[in-house]
């Protein structure tokens, strides 16, 4: 092959890769009250689909780099939960912001987006994890596999940080909500690295921080309010999940940051023991492994997508 032809082939390959990993940001209306901002990486030769579900105080931009990385081989979806980023903020009398309500948002998204469940891996963290498992109880075929981590599947306040315990308790929840809203700037700046040694500290992109702050006060329900409403129903939905744990038939993999300051890895260990699902504890990582060690997260997801092929 001539040098010219080689350069043309190389350019074509680069163009194809760029096309495959181009991010599309759009809005998907699920019902009259809920419209989600979403990001999709299309790939015409996708080997499967990945759906990322973020936690607090994140938006879909937390997954941007991972989406581009995995988009070279897979189709990738992510969206802002209601109450976060640029998605809808219906009043709490129309939408409860509870884990079980987020589960229905997840189902509606998968259906509306036309995702093939048999080729889907869901990666869910923090507030995104319990909704995916609640949905799996009702629809075991919702995904080929669900990877969950750094969340609270059971009602175990002793495994949670002081602020989360205070948000969970009715007598202190309102004051905690006010404190979260008043300190949103500090939360966005420091939440991702708390509990980590200086050598383990990491920064998140400035535009991601701006996206979290810009979205915080969209509409009448703030991100802090949505978090508060989630926790007001959290105990009920945790107890339901634990009582029905034996119904969980979907393949599930558990990952946990060893140095998670917010939810102790003992929670993950108990969940793994009770459910019989495999647990991987990630050394020297905190509550946000996908931001702290994205390459490791990518490897976990790729392995999950290849398993059983």
pLDDT at 21: 56
DSSP state of 194: T
In this prediction, residue 307 carries a pLDDT of: 73
DSSP H helices, 120-222, are 129-138, 162-168, 170-182, 184-190, 206-216
Cα separation, 107 vs 95, whole angstroms: 15
Cβ atoms within 10 Å, residue 108: 16
Residues in CB range of 237: below 8 A, 6 or more apart: 98, 99, 100, 130, 134
Domain spans, the chain: 15-306
pLDDT score, position 303: 87
- Residues of the chain falling short of pLDDT 50: 1-20
Q: Which residues of 199-234 are buried (b: 16+ CB within 10 A; e: fewer)?
A: eeeeebeeebbebbbebbebeebbbbbbbbbbbbeb
**Buried/exposed code over 157-169 (b: 16+ C-beta within 10 A; e: otherwise):** eebbbeebebbbe
Those residues whose C-beta lies under 8 Å from the C-beta of residue 186, and which sit 6 or more positions away, are none
Question: Residue 23: what pLDDT?
Answer: 86
Q: Write the pLDDT tens digit of every residue in 65-101.
A: 999 999 999 999 999 999 999 999 999 999 999 999 9
Distance CA 273, CA 279 (A): 9
Domain 15-306 indexed as CATH 3.10.440.10: no
Q: Which of 96, 257, 180 is nearest to 268 (CA)?
A: 257
Nearby residues of 244 by Cβ (< 8 Å), 6 or more positions away: 137
Give the position of tokens 């404190």.
179
pTM comes to 0.92
What is residue 279's DSSP assignment?
Answer: E
Q: Are 55 and 151 in contact (CB under 8 A)?
A: yes
């Amino acid at each position: 092959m001539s040098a010219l032809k080689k350069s043309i082939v190389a350019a074509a390959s680069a163009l194809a890769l760029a096309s495959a990993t181009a991010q599309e940001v759009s809005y998907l209306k699920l019902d009259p009250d809920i419209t989600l901002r979403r990001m999709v990486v299309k790939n015409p030769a996708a080997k499967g689909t990945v759906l990322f579900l973020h936690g607090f105080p994140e938006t879909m931009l937390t997954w941007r780099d991972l989406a581009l990385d995995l988009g070279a081989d897979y189709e990738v979806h992510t969206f802002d939960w209601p109450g976060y980023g640029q998605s809808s903020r219906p009043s709490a009398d129309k939408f409860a912001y509870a884990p079980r309500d987020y589960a229905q948002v997840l189902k509606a998204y998968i259906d509306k987006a036309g995702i093939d469940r048999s080729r889907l891996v869901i990666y869910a963290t923090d507030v995104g994890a319990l909704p995916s498992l609640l949905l799996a109880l009702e629809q075991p075929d919702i995904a080929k596999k669900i990877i969950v981590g750094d969340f609270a599947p059971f009602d175990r306040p002793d495994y949670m940080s002081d602020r989360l315990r205070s948000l969970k308790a009715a007598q202190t929840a309102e004051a905690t909500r006010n404190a979260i809203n008043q300190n949103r700037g500090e939360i966005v700046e420091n939440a991702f690295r708390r509990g980590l040694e200086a050598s383990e500290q990491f920064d998140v992109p400035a535009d991601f921080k701006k996206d979290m702050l810009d979205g915080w006060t969209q509409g009448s329900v703030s991100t802090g309010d949505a978090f508060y409403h989630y926790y007001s129903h959290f105990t009920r939905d945790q107890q339901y999940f634990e009582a029905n744990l034996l119904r969980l038939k979907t393949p599930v993999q558990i990952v946990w940051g060893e140095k998670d300051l917010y939810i102790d890895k003992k929670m993950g260990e108990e969940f793994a023991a009770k459910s019989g699902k495999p647990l991987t504890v990630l050394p020297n990582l905190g509550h946000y492994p996908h931001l702290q060690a994205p390459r490791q997260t990518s490897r976990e997801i790729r392995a999950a997508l290849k398993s059983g092929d």
